[in-house]
Structure 1
Amino acid sequence: MSVLVEGLTAGYGRSPVLRDLDLRVADGELLVVAGPSGCGKSTLLRVIAGLLPATSGRVLVGGVPVRGASRDRAVVFQDDGLLPWRSALKNVELPLALQGVSTVERRERARGWLDRVGLAGFERYLPRELSGGMRQRVQLARALAQGPEVVLMDEPFGALDARTRSAMQGLVVEVLRETGTTTIFVTHDVDEAVLLGDRVVVLGAGEVDVRREAILEVLG
């Protein structure tokens, strides 16, 4: 599903973080948005996710204006956000339960996605019993089990060690290529951006920096 951002201005209070931003993401594309802290990367994701209203401009997902959160968009954060009293399986099942999916179907889907991200056998483990990388795998499984058309990833590997981060990068590329899910991946790490993205755009002071984007595309 395509994503179109037109003339987007957004922020918090009276100070916009994004100013008159235009961006287009093709159906099935893995777009990486890079840039320094404070440039508006996370703000952009929150607006696309429907978690933050735009001050002006608009965002279309599949040609439909974003007016709030929707199950066709899933967000993966740096903080895994798992409920500590629920097992890995029940954490993945949770959004499906909220959607009214039957117990049998949601359990089957949750088990399937845990297996797909390499966590077969860990279904009953609580978050505190899992490593940071494993918890992020659970979060990824939880997001994809919903069957979203668009996945929004906000520096999901920033807190992981180098080895685990590399493994997760490979997993994300493999799974998202396989599903054909449109993905917007935010990072401040240029190496990660070039490694993961079909295309890379760079935000600077809330605007797309075309000059640096061109350099990164050549490097990629």
Structure 2
Amino acid sequence: MTGLALHLEDVTVTYGGKAVLTGLDLDVAPGEILAVTGASGCGKSTLLRVLAGLLPVAAGTVRADGEPVRGTSPDRALMFQDDALLPWRTARANVALPLAIRGVPRAERAVRADAWLARVGLAGLERRLPRDLSGGQRQRVQLARTLAGAPRTVLMDEPFGALDAQTRHGMQRLLAEVWDTGTTVVLVTHDVDEALLLGDRVAVLGEGGLTELVEVARPRTVVDPSLRARVLAALGAPTLETT
């Protein structure tokens, strides 16, 4: 499977008569993990909804593999901070949901769902309801459900933001380990270190548009202090001076 190529050209999005994004130009390569960060209210979540086809643009062009984005598609999946699991469905049934929507036979759905649950470290918990899982386990189910549907692009809106530090670190590591599907990822995060650990590039949004685009080399086992400084400077964060 090849991830989608995403293209935004001179995109403007308004909300309540106010421009949230203005003249945004951005390309995301197939299979790339693009981390997006910026101050609250700068349009990060708006960008994801535009790419998902949930929000129309006031001006400009949005394309996926060269085709205009005019609505939602199974090829573009959105993953939220809230796990959004169906409380009456088991972990297996939740993961199998996108497979059912795609018309996969029931027996195959169960096999594929169990395989993804095992891959995210939840083997043996297939029959658990969401209420019987921890917050981190529920997010693992959501990740498995998202990937089981084989989308070509995953749009992630602060997916680990509600987790404690230890669980969040584990989910970051898990995402880095399982992301060999070729899927394109756009990940919104307020955490600069998370952006630099997971992203092939980090896009910093501010004042309605793109203020910085930072390339991050692989492997990314530790955060490069110079890149952190660049991102923080683009965010307008104060820096410490040494004498």
Give the shorter-chain TM-score range: over 0.9
Q: 1:15 to 1:216 in 2, by over 3 A?
A: farther
Cα distance in 2, alignment partners of residues 64 and 169 from structure 1: 31
Q: 1:104 aligns with which of 100, 104, 107?
A: 107
Other-structure match for 1:69:
72
Aligned match for 2:189, one of 184, 187, 190: 187
| Residue number among 35, 45, 54 corresponding to 1:32 in the alignment | 35
Structure 1 residue matching 2:163: 3-state secondary structure:
coil
Structure 2 counterpart of 1:143: 146
What is aligned with 1:155? 158
Q: 1:143 to 1:214 in 2, by over 3 A?
A: closer
Distance (Å, rounded) in 2 between the aligned partners of 1:201 and 1:43 = 14
Q: Tell me, which stretches of 5 or more residues in structure 2 are unaligned? A: 218-225, 229-243
Contact 1:117 1:141 in 2 (8 A): yes
2:188 aligned partner, one-letter code: V
Amino acid at match of 1:106: R
- AA partner of residue 115 (structure 1): A
CA shift, 1:13, in A, is: 2.4
Structure 2 matches for 1:26-65, cutoff 5 A? 26-65=29-68
Aligned pair partner of 1:203 in 195, 205, 223: 205
1:3 matched to which residue of 2?
6
- Which amino acid in 2 is paired with 1:62? D
Which structure has more RCO (C-alpha within 8 Å, separation ≥ 6)? 1
Q: Could you give the per-residue CA deviations for residues 153-201 of structure 1, whole angstroms, max 9, x where no partner exists?
A: 100000000000000001111111x112110000111111111111101
Secondary structure of the corresponding residue to residue 178 of structure 2: helix
* Alignment counterpart, residue 170 of structure 1, candidates 157, 169, 173: 173
Which ranges of structure 1 fall in alignment gaps of 5 or more residues?
A: none
SS state of the match for residue 179, structure 1?
A: coil
Structure label with greater radius of gyration: 2
TM-score by length of 1: 0.94
Instruction: Tell me the C-alpha RMSD between the 2 structures.
Output: 1.5
Asked if structure 2 preserves the Cα contact closer than 8 Å seen for 1:11 and 1:43, the reply is no
Task: Find the aligned partners of 1:44 and 1:83 in 2 and give their Cα distance.
Answer: 26
Aligned length: 217
Residue in 2 that maps onto 1:126: 129
Runs of 4+ in 1 over 4 A off after TM superposition: 214-218
Amino acid at match of 2:14: G
Give the aligned partner of residue 117 of structure 2. 114
User: Greater helix share, 1 or 2?
Assistant: 1
